Amino acid sequence: MRIFDPHIHMTSRTTDDYEAMRAAGVRAVVEPAFWLGQPRTAPATFRDYFDSLLGWEPFRAAQYGIAHHCTIALNPKEANDPRCLPVLDELPRWLVKDRVVAVGEIGYDAMTPAEDKALAAQLQLAADHGLPALVHTPHRDKLAGLRRTLDAVRESALGTERVLLDHLNETTVEEAKDSGCWLGFSVYPDTKMDEARMVALLKAYGPERVLVNSAADWGRSDPLKTRKVGDLMLAEGFSEDDVDRVLWRNPVEFYGMSGRLVLDVAATAPTHEGNSVLRGGE
Ligand SMILES: [Zn+2]
């Protein structure tokens, strides 16, 4: 089973995780820029973080034979912090980089006017840079959050076929599917979506445009959830081709719209020295 985890925060994970992921079949990941838990106090801390997503983390992943790409954005939560907003003006410096395969994760957290503004601005940046967008849907008020997200997408210059809506569940899947966007599901250890519910959704709605991720980060999470979904799909009667479509070909097709996906790790493995070359300002 070959696996592409389209949403995982490897910065927060250990080398044990990389080893276990590789053994489970993970060959590629996308790491979205997000909130580190500790609030940032200045735009400069984003610069170092974005550089690490483009330099240090792909270097670490390559040690385990895993191709690493990232998405770059001001995350929804910190869109509410005036100390962070200036980074919006700096994003174009990173959005032109080779390993950046989407703008993300963007979207709504508490659905504030500040989040409206940051979302609209970043959907426009995606359109301007020919990139797709990874759009997180809020964990509270899910259906209202999805509808407001879809309004923002429809008002933007980005077609729905270039948008991946993430953290979907039973309450949001139908409207999300009807929108023409790609459908992302994050499978967690004990809350929100689990693998049995995920497989039930695949039975009900089919594998078209569906991506499954672990969204593993600094909280309780499991970087092997993608594999566990694949195993359960097979046990419940899905074909190996269906599993390959959901866990490999769909993410390859979605992020491939960037024109920047390189899945041959050996050909592209960054060196540690490469970090300085990758710095955003140069
Ligand atoms: Zn995330």
79 is a domain residue: yes
On whether the CB atoms of residues 40 and 78 are closer than 8 A, the answer is yes
172 is a domain residue: yes
- Kindly give the confidence (pLDDT) of every residue in the chain, 282 residues in length, as a single tens digit, with 9 standing for 90 and above: 999 999 999 999 999 999 999 999 999 999 999 999 999 999 999 999 999 999 999 999 999 999 999 999 999 999 999 999 999 999 999 999 999 999 999 999 999 999 999 999 999 999 999 999 999 999 888 999 999 999 999 999 999 999 999 999 999 999 999 999 999 999 999 877 899 999 999 999 999 999 999 999 999 999 999 999 999 999 999 999 999 999 999 999 999 999 999 998 876 666 655 444 444 333
Residue 159's SS3 state is: coil
Starting at the edge strand found earlier in the chain, the sheet holding 3-5 runs: 3-5, 26-32, 67-72, 100-107, 133-136, 163-166, 182-186, 210-213
Distance 107 CA to ligand 1 centre (A): 11
Q: Inter-axis angle of helices 113-129 and 87-95, to 10 degrees? A: 20
199 is a domain residue: yes
Distance 63 CA to ligand 1 centre (A): 23
Distance 222 CA to ligand 1 centre (A): 13
277 is a domain residue: no
Q: How far apart are CA 23 and CA 52, in angstroms?
A: 25
281 is a domain residue: no
276 is a domain residue: no
The pLDDT of residue 215 is: 95
Distance 27 CA to ligand 1 centre (A): 19
Distance 125 CA to ligand 1 centre (A): 20
Distance 209 CA to ligand 1 centre (A): 19
Distance 143 CA to ligand 1 centre (A): 19
Could you list the residue range(s) of the whole structural domain that residue 186 is in?
Answer: 3-268
273 is a domain residue: no
On whether the CB atoms of residues 218 and 224 are closer than 8 A, the answer is no
Is residue 263 exposed (0-12), middle (13-18) or buried (19+ Cβ within 10 Å)? middle
Distance 76 CA to ligand 1 centre (A): 10
Distance 193 CA to ligand 1 centre (A): 14
How many structural domains are present in the chain?
A: 1
Is residue 45 exposed (0-12), middle (13-18) or buried (19+ Cβ within 10 Å)? middle
Distance 34 CA to ligand 1 centre (A): 6
Distance 30 CA to ligand 1 centre (A): 10
> How far is CA 62 from its chain centroid?
19
Task: Give the helix/strand (H/E) hosting 51.
Answer: helix 44-54
Distance 155 CA to ligand 1 centre (A): 24
Distance 6 CA to ligand 1 centre (A): 10
Is residue 246 exposed (0-12), middle (13-18) or buried (19+ Cβ within 10 Å)? buried
Tokens describing residue 186? 């994050």
Distance 167 CA to ligand 1 centre (A): 9
Q: What is the CATH number of the domain that holds 155?
A: 3.20.20.140
282 is a domain residue: no
Distance 103 CA to ligand 1 centre (A): 13
Residue 186's SS3 state is: strand
Distance 8 CA to ligand 1 centre (A): 6
